[in-house]
Structure 1
């Protein structure tokens, strides 16, 4: 049976600041992100199965990614966990959606984090094939399972 790749596109808004960076991205700024999640697997061949002919129902993939990745960071400010404490406290007092990460919140590091969080949530009959995170209309980072085997 043929292996098939399925891709689902997600969009979210988020802001970040790159600590100790020497350019403009050291300041808090936002992006309209696009995330492509691609899985790979073999379509189910069982006429009695409700997902006959599918690798995975797109609806199920959407639910997993939305809950695990998108909802926690959509319209949030991502800062490295060692960001200035006075900034963190001020944002929390103002009830801003703040996500503190153990990594510099670059596009590349976000992909690594997404991969780690998604891997164990997918059904065992499918595998995460790739992730592509668009930070701007012209700039993106990619993660491929085959590059990390």
Structure 2
């Protein structure tokens, strides 16, 4: 098979690197101005760590908000951990970057969307990420970067 440039995976890595840089800065200096984040992740990812009651409530996907109350934000090359307040109950959560589905900062209308597509086990082609830019005003009024159009079909 001919060698080719895997733009989809390169974009995924670059987008995760961007999120890692942003969260590392926030961990060190706090959120600047009106910035805040809506982060949606796959709760079925094997490396997600969260309380059982949260996993039961959000069996497939969960969106967390980093805005007014969060602490112990720690960022690594693999992901991040943070303690969030759920009804006056602090709960630590560990979220690997590979589990991310969306990252949105509505204060500046910025967002990233990570698309995944299930692939047939008999398909020997490697699944790739797809990229597109779209507005999503009904949810967060943010520009979303999606990685769907470069996926092999």
* TM-score for both structures, normalised by structure 1: 0.29
Structure having the larger proportion of residues in helix: 1
TM-score (norm 2): 0.28
Higher relative contact order (CA 8 A, sep 6+): 1
**Larger gyration radius, structure 1 or structure 2:** 1
